[in-house]
């Protein structure tokens, strides 16, 4: 067991966990943040994607591949942290409006990937959108409504 | 009927959408119950044989674990689908890899891993039967020698089949003998006889949320009797699981409670399989006296659960010189896997869609589902239709090439239209205009200009571009007499606040059930959409409104909701002075005043077959489906001759689905289906070795990513149908049918090579292209689309 300190969605936590525990399980089991999903457990699908900042700015990572130890002293954002006061974040709003969420299981990861994409490219081209989401699988939408959601979110945030 | 703003045809926010974008939706793995244990399944590692012995390593303290074997099952050791051939747990006989043998549960999930590897199972292994052809060969051998049973892996004796064959159908355009005579005569005198064989592979549904359930078992502490079981989980058809539990536990159905939890994708993959995992978890709950959760990880889900049936279709057609289909025979074989499960009904849909949207003066379709030692194949969006439509739409292009007609022209000369009869004899009374759909699809997609441009550019380019079409239809609702047998029921309640709540067993798994049904009720009741509630399916509260499959929910269940809403209005107008038209406030006042006098207000409506629907299950003739959706899809591809990859570079999809109830959801359905269809054609391959799925991971089973898919253009032609609410028909499965043939037709247009099998991967293209260069008539620099060297043809015969 090892003790780690981390900040999740602006809340500081100190946890004693097995050092190799997956960050995904730490979030879901120790912090009851079940918005982060597991669909493959091997870094292929992005259902478990979160934003992890270990000092050099937030990165989009697959939490199923990250040992808890690696999150020591890090700052994390999960889907629950995007709209802390129950008002939807503009990205969430656009996914809701444009049909970017169908079954919803990929949606938390997709929304965080979009957040990361729009931070890097506030006005993304189609190629940048496709590239930015290529680590997140969605079986329901065929991605077209998700692209539309991102375009709407970009316009909204640009205002 | 509506007096407010129209709601059908607009795109209100998805009912459960807010929770989904917040990440607040609780799927089954997000739930827990007090005292929860975790379950796992011990599965066979061989495809066929008998269990010799099971040993438990004494290193493990087994008293901490709940262990269930076949002998512990209180009722019948069988998962009921259409037959009872499918064991809940294998007792001695093994018929496929990953067949469940033992169940284990423990309070700590981490304790399961070590226990799994401490169980050793010894087998007497038998050689397996892994392909349609091997299964057929065994039947053939049996015909010659009644003792040659060594490769008969499914007896069929008590399940309505024949050895190694779960089900067969035979369908004729007329009386069987007369049709056979007419076929013989047509093949005798036709200008051209064109034959082809087409194959399709297994496809994984790959819902992003794997299968999972939590089960509880209520045991009388005094007597030890099982009083009831409750299962929550990710599923499409709660009442299917009720039927399964009743048999496995030998309990009355009312003591088997099933709750659908928000479901992270299904596509047919959670139609029949939850009956298996749900029964397993409930057995463990019975054994340990605690709630038990089973969540499959991806590799287990892919190795053990159902996939789309692989198929082989042989088509033989007699065609006149001017391109008229004169006669045809179509022979379909599906690989059903080790147990019958849903194969008979998948086969039925394959049979009924085999003729496509064409007029056949004389046609015979023969279809069979064969047993193999592969995990049972099951439901997947399209349900047999994608297989037969792939074959047919490739074959229609082959006829065009043979005759020197364009793909467009051959279709125009044979399309069904209003007033025609389909191959089953169904009179098309509602408007069908495939000619117009084709004209519009080609115009909207700029087909002709692109086709000409590619023909001009290809000779000098390493990247060959092509464009292909597919024309098809999909029947909405259950086949033939199916809806009558389902006899679906819905309730619409008025709650104490005067507002309505829909009670149905129809499930939401992304496709939009909640939203559509609430729109239908809102429109019919002239209330705002936000006022309508729909209850999460719980079989103690919701009636059996049929399974959520077969593109039936909007049309069939939607119509029942609409009728129930009309009943409520009639009641309130007659007994509570609701004026016509009414406002929201007047509705609430009338409803509440009714409730103070009568305590409750519920409208219940049951499916009423339109009297004009006739279906003969024995002859396989009549009105196969209440309604059809019609479509023409156009695919553009680029085939890179240096990397041998084929990419879809643009996709245009035009469909007539009746009235579009929710344009955003409808587009999402079409786009999602097309993405799965593109995967089916070009990416997704199940690689089996000795019955083992070798690529049961997302790393090696490749589905399209956002970088792989083209822009998909979706167009609707709206012809209101009398069958569904507000004129709607079914939509969910249609988009799965067209992409694969359109894409392979486009690849032939690009390269001149008539591929006949999907999935078509770069290695297949490489193999064919490199073989082509050594062919005396071929060459990579000079691919001639008119030369067809790739499918077996009886030499086209031009009559003198
Ligand atoms: S669960 Fe982490 S990438 Fe799939
Ligand atoms: S919405 Fe279902 S997987 Fe993306």
- B512 Rama sector, left if φ>0, alpha if ψ -120 to 50, beta otherwise: left
Mean pLDDT lowest among B44-53, B199-208, B564-573, B774-783: B774-783
| Percent of chain B scoring above 90 in pLDDT | 90
- The residue nearest atom 4 of ligand 2, judged by CA position, is A138
| Lowest mean pLDDT, pick from B53-57, B285-289, B608-612, B743-747 | B608-612
* CATH number of the domain encompassing residue A28: 3.10.20.30
SS3 for B53-101 is EEEECCCCCHHHCEEECHHHCCCCCCCCCCCCCCCCCCCCEECCCCCEE
- A34 CB neighbours in chain B (<8 A) are 26, 29-30
Closest CA of chain A from B564, distance in Å = 27
The answer to whether A62 faces chain B, any CB pair under 8 Å, is: no
Same domain, A78 and A38: yes
- Taking contacts as CB-CB distances below 8 angstroms, the residues of chain B near A47 are 208
Residue A34: the pLDDT is 98
Q: By mean pLDDT, which of A59-68, A149-158, B336-345, B477-486 is the weakest?
A: B477-486
Who among A45, A96, A111 is closest to B17 (CB)?
Answer: A96
Max CA-CA distance within chain B? 89
Chain B residues 177-216 within an 8 A CB cutoff of chain A: 205-210
Pairwise CA distance, residues B425 & A159, whole Å? 60
Using CB atoms, pick whichever of A83, A105, A134 lies closest to residue B707: A134
Confidence grade of residue B780 (pLDDT, cut at 50, 70, 90): very low
pLDDT at B791 (0 to 100): 39
Of B366-380, B382-396, B769-783, give the lowest mean pLDDT range.
B769-783
In this structure, are residues B559 and B502 in contact, taking their beta carbons and an 8 Å threshold?
no
Q: Are residues A11 and A75 in the same domain?
A: yes
Q: Please indicate whether residue B793 or residue A59 has the higher confidence score (pLDDT).
A: A59
Q: In what order do the strands lie in the sheet with B645-656?
A: B463-476, B627-640, B645-656, B712-717
Q: Which residue of B has its CA nearest to A134?
A: B706
Helices and strands counted in chain A (H then E): 5, 5
The pLDDT assigned to B608 comes to 87
* Average pLDDT of every residue of chain B: 94
Residue A98 sits in the same domain as residue A67: no
Interface check for B113 against chain A (CB to CB < 8 A): the answer is no
Contact between B22 and A35 using a beta-carbon 8 Å cutoff: yes
pLDDT value at residue B795: 46
Number of domains in chain A: 2
Classify residue B432 by burial, with Cβ atoms within 10 Å: 0-12, 13-18, 19+. Answer: buried
Pocket test for ligand 2, best of B20, B23, B208, B511 (most atoms within 8 A of CB): B208
CA of A137 to the centre of ligand 1 (A): 9
CB contact (8 A) between residue A97 and residue B206: no
Q: Using CA coordinates, name the residue in chain B closest to A79.
A: B23
- CA distance, residue A54 to nearest chain B CA (Å): 24
- Reported as a pLDDT band with limits 50, 70 and 90, residue B786 is very low
Residue B131: predicted pLDDT: 98
Task: List the single residue in B with minimal CA-CA distance to A32.
Answer: B30
- Residues near ligand 2 (Cβ within 6 A): A 101-107, 138-141; B 208, 265, 510
Q: B385-403 and B343-353 are packed helices; what angle lies between their axes, rounded to 10 degrees?
A: 30
Q: How far is CA B440 from CA A26, B434, B716, in A?
A: 54, 10, 10
Contact in structure between B225 and B219 (CB atoms under 8 Å): yes
Angle between the A144-158 and B663-682 helix axes, to the nearest 10 degrees?
130
**Chain B residues closer than 8 Å to A49 by CB:** none
Q: CA B798, CA B478: separation in Å to the nearest integer?
A: 43
Are residues A59 and A114 located together in one domain of the fold? no
A40 with A77, same domain: the answer is yes
The stretch B505-521 carries a mean pLDDT of 97
pLDDT band, residue A159 (cuts 50/70/90)? low
Same domain? A56 vs A74: yes
A104 and A72, same domain (yes or no): no
Residue B100 has pLDDT above 90, yes or no: yes
Q: What is the pLDDT of residue B610?
A: 72
Q: What would the two tokens of residue B213 be? A: 């359930």
Res. B796: pLDDT tops 70 = no
Assess B16–A contact: CB distance below 8 Å, yes or no.
yes
Please tell me the distance between residue A139's alpha carbon and the centre of ligand 2 in angstroms: 5
Ligand 1 pocket residues where CB is under 6 Å: A 38-41, 43-48, 62, 64
Using pLDDT thresholds of 50, 70 and 90, give the confidence band for residue B773. Answer: low
**CA atoms within 13 Å, Cβ hemisphere of B343:** 35
pLDDT computed for residue B776 by the predictor: 43
Note whether B721 and B554 are within 8 A (CB): no
Name B427's bridge partners: B421
Centre of ligand 1 to C-alpha B34, Å, is 28
Nearest by CB: A131 against B17, B707, B712: B707
Q: How far apart are the two ends of chain B, measured CA to CA in Å?
A: 64
Q: Is the peptide bond before B27 cis (omega within 30 degrees of 0)?
A: no
Whole-angstrom distance, CA of residue B238 vs CA of residue B253: 12
B786 contacts chain A (CB < 8 A):
no
Name which of A30, A29, A28, A47 is nearest A38 in CA terms: A47
* pLDDT tens per residue across span B436-447: 999 999 999 999
Q: Indicate whether this complex's ipTM tops 0.90.
A: yes
Q: Do A113 and A130 share a domain, yes or no?
A: yes
Closest chain A C-alpha to B188 CA, distance in angstroms: 47
- Ligand 1 atom with least separation from CA of A24: 2
- The rounded Å distance from CA B644 to ligand 1 centre is 30
Please check the confidence at residue A80 and state whether its pLDDT lies above 90. yes
What burial class does residue B61 get, using C-beta atoms within 10 Å of its C-beta: 0-12 exposed, 13-18 middle, 19+ buried? exposed
Taking the CA of residue A108 and the nearest CA in chain B, the distance in Å comes to: 6
Assess whether A97 and A32 both reside in one domain: no
Nearest C-alpha of chain B: how many angstroms from A85?
Answer: 11
Interface check for A35 against chain B (CB to CB < 8 A): the answer is yes
- Spatial CB neighbours of B277, under 8 Å, sequence gap ≥ 6: B211, B212, B213, B233, B294, B296
Q: What are phi and psi of B417, to 5 degrees?
A: -145, 180
Confidence band (pLDDT; 50, 70, 90) for B604?
Answer: very high
Give the percent of chain B with pLDDT over 70: 95
Domains of chain B: 17-25+488-606 (3.30.365.10), 34-127+226-292 (3.90.1170.50), 311-479+619-770 (3.30.365.10)
Distance from CA of A48 to the nearest CA of B (A): 11
Q: Name residues whose C-beta falls within 8 Å of residue B774's C-beta, 6 or more positions apart in sequence.
A: none
What residues in A contact B208, CB-CB < 8 Å? 37, 39, 45, 47, 103, 105-106, 137-140
Pocket test for ligand 2, best of B25, B265, B698 (most atoms within 8 A of CB): B265
Phi, psi (rounded to 5 degrees) for B334: -110, 145
Contacts with B19 from chain A: Cβ below 8 Å: 104
CATH number of the domain bearing residue A96: 1.10.150.120
Q: Is the dihedral of CA A128, A133, A135, A138 positive or negative?
A: negative
Written as one string, the DSSP assignment of B444-507 is HTTHHHHHHHHHHHGGG-SEEEEEEEEEEEEEESSSTTHHHHH--EEEEEEPTTS-EEEE-S--
Which of A82, A109, A127 is the last residue in one of the domains?
Answer: A82
Chain A contact for B32, CB < 8 A?
no
A10 and A75 part of one domain = yes
Q: How close is the nearest chain B Cα to the Cα of A57, in Å?
A: 23
Q: Which residue has the higher pLDDT, B769 or B658?
A: B658
Domain boundary among A82, A106, A132: A82
Say whether both A29 and A58 belong to one domain: yes
| CB spacing of B16 vs A104 below 8 angstroms | yes
Ligand 2 closest atom vs CA A139: 3
Distance CA B146, CA B138 (A): 11
Q: Strands B292-295 and B212-219, how do they pair?
A: antiparallel
Which of B26, B266, B697 lies at the smallest CB-CB distance from A42? B697
Could you give the count of Cα atoms lying within 13 Å of A60 in the half-sphere of its Cβ?
Answer: 25
Q: Does B713 touch chain A (CB under 8 A)?
A: no
Which residue in B328, B376, B344 sits closest to B97, CA to CA? B376
CB A137 within 8 A of CB A113: no
CA–centroid distance, B267 to ligand 2, in Å, is 11
> Is A103–B711 a contact, with Cβ atoms under 8 angstroms apart?
no
Identify the domain containing residue A131 by its residue range. 90-158
Interface test with B, best of A27, A105, A130 (most B CBs within 10 A): A105
pLDDT bracket for residue B81 (50, 70, 90): confident
A78 shares a domain with A95: no
Is residue B742 left, alpha or beta, with left meaning phi > 0 and alpha meaning psi from -120 to 50?
Answer: alpha
> Last residue of some domain: A35, A58, A82?
A82
Q: What is the pLDDT of residue B389?
A: 98
Per-residue pLDDT band for B799 (boundaries 50, 70, 90) equals very low
- Asked if the Cβ–Cβ distance from A144 to B712 is below 8 Å, we say yes
User: Is 90 exceeded by the pLDDT of residue A100?
Assistant: yes
């Amino acid at each position: 067991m090892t003790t780690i300190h981390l900040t999740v969605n602006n809340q500081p936590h100190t946890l004693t966990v097995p050092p190799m525990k997956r960050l995904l399980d730490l979030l879901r089991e120790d912090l009851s943040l079940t918005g982060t999903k597991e669909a493959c457990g091997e870094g292929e699908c992005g259902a478990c994607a979160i934003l992890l900042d270990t000092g050099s700015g937030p990165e989009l990572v697959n939490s199923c591949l990250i040992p808890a130890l690696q999150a020591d002293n890090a700052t994390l954002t999960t889907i629950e942290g995007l709209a802390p006061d129950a008002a939807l974040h503009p990205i969430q709003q656009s996914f809701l409006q444009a049909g970017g969420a169908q079954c919803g299981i990929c949606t938390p990861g997709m929304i965080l990937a979009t957040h990361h994409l729009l931070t890097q490219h506030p006005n993304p081209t189609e190629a940048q959108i496709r590239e930015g989401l290529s680590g997140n699988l969605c079986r329901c939408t065929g991605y077209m409504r998700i692209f539309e959601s991102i375009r709407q979110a970009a316009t909204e945030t640009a205002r | 009927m509506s007096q407010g703003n129209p709601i059908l045809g607009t795109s209100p926010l998805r009912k459960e959408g807010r929770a989904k974008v917040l990440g607040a939706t609780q799927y089954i793995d997000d739930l827990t119950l007090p005292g929860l244990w975790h379950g796992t399944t011990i599965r066979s590692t061989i495809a066929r044989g008998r269990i010799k012995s099971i040993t438990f390593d004494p290193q493990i303290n087994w008293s901490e674990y709940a262990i269930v074997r076949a002998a512990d099952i209180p009722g019948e050791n069988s998962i009921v689908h259409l037959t009872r051939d499918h064991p809940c747990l294998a007792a001695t006989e093994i018929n496929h890899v990953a067949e469940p043998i033992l169940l284990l549960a423990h309070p700590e999930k981490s304790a399961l891993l070590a226990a799994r590897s401490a169980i050793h199972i010894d087998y007497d292994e038998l050689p397996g039967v892994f392909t349609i052809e091997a299964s057929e060969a065994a039947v053939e051998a049996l015909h010659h020698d009644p003792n040659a049973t060594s490769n008969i892996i499914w007896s069929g004796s008590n399940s309505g089949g024949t050895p190694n064959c779960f089900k067969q159908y035979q369908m004729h355009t007329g009386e069987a003998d007369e049709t056979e005579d007419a076929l013989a005569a047509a093949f005798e005198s036709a200008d051209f006889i064109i034959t082809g064989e087409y194959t399709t592979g297994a496809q994984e549904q790959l819902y992003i949320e794997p299968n999972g359930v939590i089960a509880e078992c209520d045991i009388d502490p005094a007597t030890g009797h099982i009083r009831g079981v409750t299962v929550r989980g990710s599923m499409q058809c709660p009442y299917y699981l009720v039927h399964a539990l009743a048999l496995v536990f030998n309990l009355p159905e009312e003591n088997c409670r099933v709750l659908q939890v928000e479901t992270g994708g299904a596509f047919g993959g959670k139609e029949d399989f939850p009956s298996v995992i749900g029964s397993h978890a409930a057995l463990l709950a019975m054994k340990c006296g605690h709630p038990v959760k089973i969540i499959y990880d991806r590799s287990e889900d892919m190795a053990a659960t159902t996939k789309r049936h692989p198929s082989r279709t042989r088509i033989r057609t007699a065609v006149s010189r001017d391109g008229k289909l004169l006669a045809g025979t179509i022979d379909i074989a599906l690989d059903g896997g080790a147990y019958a499960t849903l194969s008979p009904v998948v086969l039925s849909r394959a049979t009924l869609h085999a003729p496509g949207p064409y007029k056949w003066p004389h046609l015979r379709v023969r279809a069979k589902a064969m047993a193999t030692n592969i995990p049972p194949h099951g439901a997947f969006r399209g349900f047999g239709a994608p297989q037969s439509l792939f074959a047919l739409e490739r074959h229609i292009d082959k006829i065009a090439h043979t005759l020197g007609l364009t793909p467009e022209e051959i279709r125009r000369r044979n399309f069904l239209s209003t007033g025609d009869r389909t191959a089953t004899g169904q009179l098309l009374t509602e408007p069908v205009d495939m000619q117009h759909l084709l004209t519009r699809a080609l115009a909207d997609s700029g087909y002709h200009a692109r086709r000409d441009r590619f023909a001009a550019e290809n000779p000098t380019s390493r990247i060959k571009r092509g464009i292909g079409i597919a024309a098809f239809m999909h029947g909405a609702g259950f086949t033939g007499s199916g809806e009558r047998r389902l006899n679906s029921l819905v309730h619409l309640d008025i709650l104490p606040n005067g507002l309505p709540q829909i009670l149905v067993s129809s499930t939401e798994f992304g496709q939009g059930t909640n939203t559509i049904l609430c729109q239908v009720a809102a429109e019919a009741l002239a209330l705002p959409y936000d006022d309508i509630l729909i209850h999460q399916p719980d079989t103690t509260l919701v009636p059996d409104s049929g399974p959520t499959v077969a593109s039936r929910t909007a049309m069939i269940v939607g119509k029942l909701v609409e009728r129930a809403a009309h009943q409520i209005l009639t009641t309130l107008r007659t007994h509570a002075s609701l004026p016509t038209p009414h406002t929201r406030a007047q509705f609430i006042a009338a409803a509440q005043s009714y409730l103070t006098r009568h305590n409750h207000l519920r409208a219940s409506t049951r499916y009423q077959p339109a009297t004009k629907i006739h279906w003969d299950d024995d002859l396989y003739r009549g009105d196969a489906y209440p309604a059809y959706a019609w479509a023409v899809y156009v695919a553009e591809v680029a085939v890179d001759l240096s990397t041998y990859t084929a990419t879809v570079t643009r996709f245009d999809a035009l469909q007539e689905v009746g009235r579009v109830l929710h344009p955003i959801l409808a587009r999402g359905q079409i786009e999602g289906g097309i993405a799965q269809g593109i995967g089916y054609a070009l990416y997704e391959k199940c690689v089996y070795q000795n019955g083992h799925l070798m690529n049961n991971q997302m790393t090696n089973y490749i589905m399209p990513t956002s970088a792989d898919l083209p822009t998909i253009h979706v167009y609707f032609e709206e012809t209101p149908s009398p069958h569904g609410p507000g004129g709607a028909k079914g939509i969910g499965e249609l988009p799965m049918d067209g992409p694969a043939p359109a894409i392979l037709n486009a690849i032939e247009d690009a390269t001149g090579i008539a591929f006949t099998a999907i999935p078509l991967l770069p290695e297949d293209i490489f193999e064919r292209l490199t073989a082509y260069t050594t062919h005396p008539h071929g060459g990579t620099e000079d691919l001639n689309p008119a030369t067809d060297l790739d499918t077996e043809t009886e030499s086209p015969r031009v009559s003198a």
